Structure 1
Amino acid sequence: MKKQHYIKELIAQGEGAHLDFKFEISDAAKIARSLVAFANTNGGKLLIGVKDNGVIRGVKSEEEYYMIENAAQNYCRPQVRFTSKEWNIDGKIVLEIDIPFSSDYPHKAPDPNDKYKAYMRYEDQNILADGVLLKVWNKEKSKQDIQLVFTDELQEILHFIEKNEPVTKTDIRQHFGLAKFNTEHLLSDLIIFDVVKMDITDSGLLYYLKEPSG
């Protein structure tokens, strides 16, 4: 039995957390969001010349590669590194763009209002990174000495999470009357110390008390 072409195997998987199809590239700022989302979230691939339904149409010109290069260099802060390869599939050219996870995270790209924001990949979508996640990233990058003091208030917050999980950041803010910054700061510390885990869902970020290992 003849083995299916590598690109066709990828297409058969469908779009997801690590794979995105693009029929064409016409907006450098928009494709920059995909580049930074993959770079911030474990890497991924773009297949250019493939429609959302998996039909191969092929790239129209070399300009598509140069637009991606322009997006990576001029619309991503800091720049996003990628590798590319052309594949001839039944006479049509598919451009494979491979974006590895970047140690320079968080990368940012312009949002629809031209403000630079950090994006992440969730399933087959590029979504804005939440303030809690941004603080986790920044603290991990800075390698700052973080101390977690289990005060009575913190114990109450942990009990609230355990009793009502999953909870949102807003649930905690409203119940304890905390400022947004303080809530994000606290949750980011709890995640770094492996006390709380975070799940990304269609409804946003949800928080659970992490069960002790062993």
Structure 2
Amino acid sequence: MVHYIEELIREGEHQQQDFKFCITDSRKIARSLSAFANTDGGKLLIGVKDNGKIAGAKVEEEFHMIKAAADMYSRPKIAFESKVWQISGKNVLEITVPPSKKMPHYAENEKGKWLAYLRKDDENILANKVLLEVWKRKSKPIGTYLKYTETEAVLMEYLNRNQEISLNQYCRIAKISRYKAERILVKLICWNVIELNFYAGGTKYLIKREKISRI
């Protein structure tokens, strides 16, 4: 019978799962906690190499590093559950982070700067200003007022002809400031009219698909 942890390892690393051979820096692991909490939640399997080989974890040491990441280097603090599994005499520490209702969660970097992350596929991506504002508004029990003007119409007409648009493109075709473009994009995302798509080279905006996403 296949062990529960072995079944998880077979899935590989993905949007809701990450492998860690060991933890040497609580600040760095806080990025993963932030990304999971800000997106759909996820699991860290500590004591597992990137290739899926079980190396074993020093459970007590690793747990304290995770605890520091969640309490000291995350703001607000990030809730998690932990469980120790033993396979062939080796320990694997499973850390489960639920999706949070207190977004955004920030992680402190080595320079003392607080940054928020999201999880995309198997990567932790730095959240931009638009997404941060969307998270803040969605966490508040107040509505978002949207006035539909020619500036919004320019955006929607462009997206109806083209699949997606970048922030810089929107500023250029609408002839508006970056600040104003960001505010409009935030409102349209909160209204579920458009959504974000993250690429290695940056962020694009497109007409909202039917599936509801936390980001």
Instruction: Classify the TM-score, shorter chain.
Output: over 0.9
Distance across 2 between alignment mates of 1:209 and 1:59:
45
Provide the C-alpha distance between the structure 2 equivalents of 1:61 and 1:18, rounded to a whole number of angstroms. Answer: 21
For residue 64 of structure 1, the aligned residue among 51, 54, 62 is: 62
The one-letter code of the counterpart of 2:158 is: F
Residues in 1 aligned to 2:161 and 2:141: alpha-carbon distance in whole angstroms: 32
Contact 2:59 2:91 in 1 (8 A): no
Question: Which residue does 2:166 correspond to in 1?
Answer: 168
Query: Gaps (5+ residues) in structure 1?
Result: none
Alignment-derived partner of residue 149 in structure 1: 147
Alignment partner for residue 106 of structure 1, among 81, 104, 107? 104
Percent of aligned pairs with the same amino acid = 43
Determine helix, strand or coil for the equivalent of 1:139: helix
Aligned residues: 211
TM-score when scaled to structure 2? 0.92
Q: Work out whether residues 34 and 106 of structure 2, in 8 Å CA contact, stay in contact via their aligned partners in 1.
A: yes
Aligned-pair Cα RMSD in Å: 1.7
Q: CA deviation at 1:150?
A: 1.6
Does the 8 Å CA contact 2:154/2:174 hold for their aligned counterparts? Answer: no
Matched residues in 1 for 2:200 and 2:117: separation?
A: 15
Q: In structure 1, how many angstroms separate the alpha carbons of the residues matched to 2:185 and 2:143? A: 16
Using structure 1 for the length normalisation, give the TM-score.
0.92
How many Å separate the matches in 1 of 2:210 and 2:56?
A: 50
The one-letter amino acid paired with 1:19 is Q
**Aligned counterpart in structure 1 of residue 86 of structure 2, from 64, 85, 88:** 88
Indicate whether 1:140 and 2:145 are aligned: no
Secondary structure in 1 aligned to 2:133? helix
Other structure's SS at 2:23 match: coil
Give the structure 2 partner of residue 118 of structure 1.
116
The aligned amino acid for 2:79 is: R
